[in-house]
Chain A
Amino acid sequence: MLRLTLKNIWAYKTRLLLSMTSIVLGVSFLMGTFVISATLNKTFDDLFASVFKSTDAVVRSGDVIKGTFGETDERAGLDKSILQQVKAVDGVKSAEGEIQVFNPIILDDKGDRLFNSAGGAPVLGFKWGTDDILKVWRLVGEDDKSLTAEQTANIEIADNTVFVDKATFDSKNFKIGTKLSIIFPDGPKEFSVAGAVRFGEADGAAGAPSFLFNEEQITELAQRGNTYDAISVVAEDGLSQKEVVEKIKIAFADSDLNIKVITGDAAAKENQDTIKEALSFFNIALSAFAAIAFVVAIVIIINSFAIILAQRQREYALLRAVGAKASQIRRSVILESLVVGLVASATGVATGIGLAVLIKSALAAFGLDLPDGPLEVQTSSIVVCLVLGTLATVLSAFIPAFISSRIPPIAALSEAAFEKKKKWWPRATLATISGIIFVTIITLALTDSTGSKIRDTSIGLGAGFMFLIFVIPFLVKPFTLLIGSRVAGVFLLPFGGRHAFSVTGMIAKRNNSRNPRRTSRTALALVIGVALVSFVTVFAASVNKTVDVTLKKNFVGDFIVSSDGIEPIVTPQLCEQIVAQDFVQASTCLKSRSASFAITEQDRSDLNNANGAYISGFNSKTITEFYATPFRGDLNNLGADGVAVTKQFAESKDLELGSKILIRLDAGQRDFTVKAIVDGGIPIDFIEMMIDNSAYDELSTIKTATSAIVLLEDGINTNVARTDLEELTRGTGASVNDQKALRDQNAAQINQLLSLIYALLGLAIVIASIGIVNTMSLSILERTRELGLLRAVGMSKRQVRNSIRFESVITAVMGTAIGIVFGVSGAYFLIQALKQDGLDQFATGGTSLIAIVALSAFIGVLAGAWPAWRATKIDILKAVSTE
């Protein structure tokens, strides 16, 4: 049977090649994802390994402030005096106090931001270390070579000068002496670039623009008082990391400072793990898209095998007639799929590595720059891709193989057995049952208040997908009639809709619905892709609208001064200046960061392991002038120990007015009393607790605000006020926006994310359209005689092409229509489920949906082009000859 298998593969090579494309694409996306993930992990592993290369121990505060939304935990600073104590410990060779600043605001000499933090890599500020062993940065000399540690030994950074990583230095066309403006808490300071540095051997720190300051200025910029983030320690020669850690621990055992000491290796590991966790969202998202592409590919390969094997039924019947066992035929088919699967997967692995390069540049185009460096291709990734791709192919061939093997030998002789009709009622029953399950689960999920609505709705949508699989074959005929109707033809005019009026269109319609199961499987691939795209579209449009409505309803300020990104930008100095303007009736600076909080006794006693939440500082006295949000309690007099919480937060934590919350920020902790409960719509969506700025400034080292909100005096000309505010913010990096601009900015951010998702889902649609090409091509091979007959009785090549293309358009539009209905209703159900979480607006993003329909009809035209061309190449004589 092996020879027969190989012969079959050769004989059907065109058909198999077509089918392979989908597996190749699916596997290559998976492989690309693996490569990108592995590359990222490797880059950061290497990065931190080199950062901590010489570090034997790390000393840091034991006071933890829990991060939220995947942010890393923060720690309180260490007073600088501790450095001397550490240095004095027996066994410590040298030590260095570390200070790092996240997203400092850096402007060029014209006052424009040099980096936009939204979506891009963060900008980092570092201390230029004085310890030669611990120093990881190397100054670049005039000959473009790094200076040695000895040569760098005595170099210090003067006030108001910075070193910049070589990658940024080059990409921003810096020169020695280039003027920069850097925003300090007391206002902008003029700096000049004093040199370029390498990070070990690398030109940059994994794509993050890095600026190095002297200790005084980085301390000032960090706003963390006279503290270090941590102290890195080098042990005396001959002392292990553990030994030096023990010695330091013992030295501080009697101190009442809460100090933690870990080994350099542990610190490196911790950093590596943290970044991996931060990247895991990205990896999961990529994997999800790879999975989608893969599922679509499987649908197509199942269809391909079903068609190919159906075309070969006579051969198998003949084999059976001459004595082949059913099991032999089954084995032959499985073996064939194994070969095909292996070849396709191997090709997919190879193209996947190429795709990784593409994904990398695509992500860069969306502002998600990945670090430079070689791609990391792991053997395990290759193996997993090969196994998954082959397994998927073999499993896809399994059912068709089983059906083929059961072909009665008599089918070889009689034409009739070929078109044997399958019973329709088992599928109808399955469709009905799954439909009932779908409706029931969704109804229950949305009406029942107990249990997780999101989870239940998701399960319901899963059932809905099963329902689709069973019901689409029954929809093929009505949909074909509908889409091929004259009325629809008018709408489809740009895509060959005129054929709805002619015999070419009629033939297309008949062909499209002659094998509903085949057409439904072809359409299913597109249904999945389009459903996801329209789901995301509707979901994003609804989020946009919700934010829009919430802002309109709750935010009554005239202007907001903030960064275009999310980083704190309004310095206390700027804040004071804004408040002092005489056209300002009221204003508040809004500050926010993560805080640890404790309500229960257990959490209070172990605050380091308690939960974190986002907290905001604002001007309690004036807040009600900006926000029309309903609330209970007294929002205007929070004072030094009052906190306002959202209704959801209060409900989930069992809080009432008067409840106590212990809140810790990096400069201290305080017991707060709940004085107000706000009914949703706190200015920034994810903030759960709000305190007055007076309390915030005492507890937080960082006093720079995210934004300043301004309400104008009555009768003030807004344009004049805007000009004044813009004048005030010139050179600070902050921008002045009114309500509408703020909403637009919000929408722009969501849309940016959306376009990235579109790009990734686009691949699923590309694979689906290849599925259409595939099915159409296979069908045309099957219809050689029919096409020959048509050509003989006078169908022109043009009419043949039109007919095939129209058939393809009908399939594409059908898949799109079903996909949109499912995607939109899925989004609707999920939004209903999320209503209690504040997502209370539903928007369809109408124009986007119309664009999706147009696009997929166009895809239908494109997908039909090649099969249509092939169809005109058939030999009329072969089709009609009897000899």
Chain B
Amino acid sequence: MTITSDTSNPAASNSSSKVAAKAVHVTKTYGSGEAQVNALDDVTIDFHHGEFTAIMGPSGSGKSTLLHCIAGLDRASGGEVWIGETDITRLSEKKLTLVRRERIGFIFQSFNLLPTLSAKENIELPQKLAKGKSDKAFTEKIVNILGIKDRLSHKPSELSGGQQQRVAVARALARQPEIVFADEPTGNLDSKSGTEVLKFMRNAVDEFKQTIIMVTHDATAAAYADRVVFLKDGKIVNEMREPDASSILDYIKSLG
């Protein structure tokens, strides 16, 4: 575990591996004039391939905004956001949709699944939207690991919260996207289900070299990551490598 106080170039510490995504001087402002709010204030950060990153920070720190901007769900007001070799801030809405569909996986806190589709159909949705062939063997493997094989024909309303979230994880991973973005994936789950989901995400990083960026306010969840980035008032204030829950908690307390 390392704590670096140098926040000007936090990503430089691990330059040996390939960059999966990066934000360069990203700003995000809402409103104008007196009422202007800087949700992101000149954020620069790299995310490396095969790494599990957690983004933490108090409410209103801009952690979700950062995730949304990097994931192409929201547009940055300034700066560049790169997914691999693509600057997505320059993409049209149409191309951006393609990037989300082809190269990114999502896990949200709740309402991850379409209520009209079965678990299996939900998992296959991104492939089907892309009209591409799915890697059946890989999907089956994930489904097996997640233990939802016998739940595949069920509608979301027939699944427990934990099961629903596991289906969401399966959907996000099934296409082996360049990056999986997770926004408070365990926020709505009991601790047992939450742990299972987190374990699986960790496993995906270790076993399939999956890149994951996760926003969370839960130190225990963040402890599953390789690296924790702390945000406050729209700025990156610190980061930890190989974090454990108690040191994260301590740091957050110090942030106030």
Residues of A within 8 A of B (CB): 419, 502-504, 506-507, 510-511, 514, 785-786, 789-799, 876-877, 879-883
Contacts and interface: CB of A to CB of B under 8 A. Distances in A.
Given A502-B131, A789-B114, A882-B187, A796 B94 contact: yes
B116 A507 contact: yes
5 contacts: A795-B97, A795-B101, A795-B129, A796-B98, A882-B64
B242 interface: no
B206 interface: no
Contacts of A502: 128, 131
A793 B121 CA distance: 13
A882 B64 CA distance: 9
Given A794-B97, A794-B126, A796-B94, A882 B116 contact: no
Interface stretch (B2-10, B102-110, B197-205): B102-110
Given A502-B131, A793-B125, A793-B171, 8 more contacts: A419-B157, A510-B114, A510-B116, A790-B125, A792-B108, A796-B101, A877-B74, A879-B111
Interface centre among B94, B111, B131, B157 (most CB of A within 10 A): B111
A791 B97 contact: yes
B114 A786 contact: yes
Contacts of B121: 506
Given A793-B101, A793-B106, A799 B129 contact: yes
A798 B114 CA distance: 19
B97 A881 contact: no
Interface in B31-65: 59, 64
Residue among B94, B111, B114, B130 with the highest chain A CB neighbour number at 10 A: B114
B193 interface: no
A793 B111 contact: no
A5 B106 CA distance: 40
A882 B114 contact: no
Interface in B141-192: 157, 171, 183-184, 187
B130 A789 contact: no
Nearest to B109: A882
Interface residues of B, number: 36
B93 interface: yes
A799 B74 CA distance: 20
B74 to A, nearest CB: 6
B245 interface: no
A880 B183 contact: yes
B24 interface: no
Contact of A510 (B106, B117, B126): B117
Given A789-B108, A793-B101, A882 B68 contact: no
A792 B131 CA distance: 17
Nearest to B108: A880
B79 interface: no
A514 B116 contact: yes
B114 A876 contact: no
Contacts of A798: 94
A510 B93 CA distance: 27
Contacts of A883: 59, 64
A241 to B, nearest CB: 78
A790 B114 contact: yes
Contacts of B109: 882
A794 B131 CA distance: 11
Contacts of B68: 877, 881
B91 interface: no
B73 A880 contact: yes
Interface of B: 59, 64, 68, 73-74, 93-94, 97-98, 100-102, 104, 106, 108-117, 121, 125-126, 128-131, 157, 171, 183-184, 187
Contacts of B64: 881-883
Contacts of A510: 114, 116-117
Given A502-B128, A786-B114, A790-B114, A882 B98 contact: no
B73 A876 contact: yes
Given A877-B68, A882-B183, A794 B102 contact: yes
The 6 closest A-B pairs by CB, nearest first: A794-B101, A510-B116, A503-B128, A882-B109, A796-B97, A794-B100
Contact of B97 (A514, A785, A797): A797
Contact of B116 (A511, A793, A797, A876): A511
Contact of A877 (B73, B97, B112, B114): B73
Contact of B106 (A792, A799, A877): A792
A799 to B, nearest CB: 6
Nearest to A882: B109
B74 A789 contact: no
B108 A797 contact: no
Contacts of A785: 111
Nearest to A799: B129
Contacts of A793: 100-101, 106, 125-126, 129, 171
B159 to A, nearest CB: 13
A79 B145 CA distance: 110
Contact of B184 (A796, A797, A876, A882): A882
A789 B112 contact: yes
B216 to A, nearest CB: 11
A876 B111 CA distance: 13
Contacts of B73: 792, 876-877, 880
A794 B114 contact: no
A211 B125 CA distance: 77
A793 B68 CA distance: 13
A732 to B, nearest CB: 72
Contacts of B102: 794
Most B CB contacts (10 A, CB to CB) among A786, A797, A799 go to A786
A877 B113 CA distance: 16
Nearest to B124: A503
Nearest to A791: B97
A475 B68 CA distance: 43
Contacts of B113: 789
A799 B109 CA distance: 25
A794 B171 CA distance: 12
Contacts of B101: 793-796
Contacts of A794: 97-98, 100-102, 104, 126, 129-130
A206 B98 CA distance: 68
Nearest to B105: A793
A786 B108 CA distance: 12
Contacts of A792: 73, 100, 106, 108
Contacts of A795: 97, 101, 129
